[in-house]
Structure 1
Amino acid sequence: MNPKQLAARIGQAVVVLVVTYTVAFLLLSALPSDAVMSRFGDPALGLSEAEIAAIREEMGVDKPLVVQFFTGLAGALVGDFGNSTQTGAKVGTLIADAAPHTLALAASSIGLAILVALLVAFLATLPGLGFISAFFRGLPSFMVSLPGFWIGILLIQFFSFQLGWIRIIEPSSFEGLILPTLTLAVPMAAPLIQVLIRSIDETQAMPFVQAVRSRGASEAWIFWRDILRNSLLPALTMAGLLFGELVGGAVVTETVFGRTGLGQMTAQAVSNRDTPVLLAIVLIAAAAYVVINLIVDLLYPVLDVRLRAPRTRSTSPQAAADHVSARVTAPAAELEEGPRA
């Protein structure tokens, strides 16, 4: 990706974030209540209408929606999301405290899901396994149908209450990641497995695979050395989308396990009508998708040399066209390593 394309992608990312903020702001503004009334409107607090109006003025929610929109957007573009209407704390501070916990959970979950997907896809596409291969091919449909909260409750019941292996009350940093990671990795691995199996089946039908197999290479060598590399791009795209979704907040999982993170913060902000916090989390989720997709695009040429810019020594247009055609039609493994003797 050249600098001009990178600049264009950054411009598109800014547009996506502005549109996301606009849609989120309009939807949250359409709610029948607001954070001030949710927190201070209880008659038991004994606040008069004048006192509530003063609080609304102090928080800036008494201004017209257009003014609130542009004020919030200008602050969001420089990283200032204002103050939480529920706690009064800086939203940026709340995000900074919660984001590392969610990032750690997202990274461990996607890592485990990728490992599981690679192993299952290998067993599902390995020739000669018969019903075992059929079992692993049907496994993703079962995995994706399992509700996340149900998986989490079962894991807590078995590993914490029955076996006593993992504490759920005041666990260590590592212990606190184990069960939530397993809970998220199971449904996340399912689409990765499906995409990998389909891509591997297509790659196995290519002539270069038969050529490598005819030279006496083992099936494991062919899979890990040749087939997998030429089948990774669709799975890489799916993994990027899944990681972006997790960064946006694993609400159910963090609520089940009582973990501090963006997911738990989202649930609390929704119940409290905390608009500044919700807007910040929506923008962070959108930014995560944009950044992950950009990273995935940058990784494509690294994994598949067919997508790299061709380098030709000849200035002839016909020679350049022939060179590009040869790169597109050759498998990535052969382009990188050359034909085997």
Structure 2
Amino acid sequence: MAVDSSIIEAVPISRAIAQRHPAANILRTVLFRIGSAIFVLWGAVTITFIVLTILPGDRATILLNITSGQTIARTLEELAPINAMYGFDQPILTQYIHYVGALLQGDLGTSFELQRSVANIIGEQIAPTFTLAASALLLAWIFAVPWTLFTAGRGRRIGAFGSATETIMAGLPQYWIGILLLIIFAIGLRWFPVIGGTSFMNTVLPTVTLAIPLAGFLGQSIRSEFDRTMREPFVLSARARGMSGAGVRARHVLRHALIPGITLSGWAIGHLLSGTVLVETVFARPGLGAILVNAVSNKDFALVSGCVILNSFLYVVINLVLDTIYLVVDPRLRGAA
């Protein structure tokens, strides 16, 4: 079967154009991923609205019961002003349009229970939670990378020991780690305070609690790629040029092995932001965890919705940043952009 010669010629030509214009290709890829991120965020907002709309229980009744402190049935005459005030009596599509429009203006609504702006409530509590999550992610990387360099690609026994340690770390429950750290370092040795706050000393134990399991997951993903890369031809070539084993591992192999860990970090942010709910409870630490648990218990839909949308927004933005970091860490992606 004959093959059109123009097709054969177009392939190297397109590759040559891509190599001559790497910045344009990177910009196009970034713009495409921004569009994908916006679509994902719109999906999260839509699903949140649908879930809150179809939940059992009349929202006007719940709001009246929260404000009055009584759980009783309400008449239509009592519910009518609340439905009109919050737009609950309007068609679902109209409510959805108003909901999205308010979000685009930064309006997350008003807390039914606290009668305050959801944005203000979250703004007061987001700093401790985000600090804890970011600190845990950074500490997990500090644990995982040196451990992988020390144990990966150094023989079967050392590799098996390193992998087994990571598996154990990844499987440890966060609440168990938190309680154990409290008993040993706060109650027993009295190195850290028992009741959590936002100071450095109050943040150490919660950070370690979140970082240990995450370091296990990161170590496993980095180790797998590290072992695979050690068998690549360019590693043998680098050694043949006289580069030391440590230099090859740190300068060449590790750079490729970090990519799965970067991918996992995007998931880790969402996991950490949700995992702080439990850790903040164990350490009596201020943050979004306490207000989210209280909002769910009291069916404060506006506050729950605000927390969910905030987590979705942070997750999407951080993954977008990580996608851009790929282009810096792995030069092969620049030509494919």
Is contact 2:67-2:112 (8 Å) kept?
Answer: no
Which amino acid in 1 is paired with 2:34?
Answer: I
Alignment of 1:17 onto 2:17: no
Identical aligned pairs, as a percentage? Answer: 35
d(CA) in 2 for partners of 1:123, 1:185 = 19
Unaligned runs of 5+ in 1: 311-323, 325-341
Answer with 41-50 or 113-122: which moved more: 41-50
* C-alpha distance after superposition, 1:232-252 (max 9, x if no partner): 211111112212332456211
Which amino acid in 2 is paired with 1:98?
Answer: Q
Is contact 1:141-1:190 (8 Å) kept?
Answer: yes
Which amino acid in 2 is paired with 1:27?
Answer: V
d(CA) in 2 for partners of 1:202, 1:244 = 28
Is contact 1:126-1:219 (8 Å) kept?
Answer: no
Which amino acid in 2 is paired with 1:293?
Answer: N
**Match for 2:226 among 189, 200, 207?**
200
Alignment of 1:113 onto 2:137: no
Give 2:269's aligned residue: 243
Query: Shift of the alpha carbon at 1:71?
Result: 1.5
Is contact 1:110-1:188 (8 Å) kept?
Answer: yes
* C-alpha distance after superposition, 1:176-227 (max 9, x if no partner): 2111101110111122111101100111001222233345544322211221
Is contact 2:197-2:286 (8 Å) kept?
Answer: no
Give 2:55's aligned residue: 31
Give 2:172's aligned residue: 146
d(CA) in 2 for partners of 1:38, 1:105 = 35
Alignment of 1:305 onto 2:331: yes
Query: Shift of the alpha carbon at 1:18?
Result: 1.8
Give 1:77's aligned residue: 104
Unaligned runs of 5+ in 2: 1-24
Which amino acid in 2 is paired with 1:21?
Answer: V
Which amino acid in 2 is paired with 1:78?
Answer: Q
d(CA) in 2 for partners of 1:122, 1:84 = 49
Is contact 1:248-1:282 (8 Å) kept?
Answer: no
Give 1:125's aligned residue: 152
Give 1:66's aligned residue: 93
TM-score w.r.t. the length of structure 1 is 0.82
**Match for 2:298 among 272, 281, 300?**
272
RCO comparison, higher one (Cα < 8 Å, 6+): 2
Which amino acid in 2 is paired with 1:8?
Answer: F
Is contact 1:233-1:300 (8 Å) kept?
Answer: yes
**Aligned residue-pair number:** 310
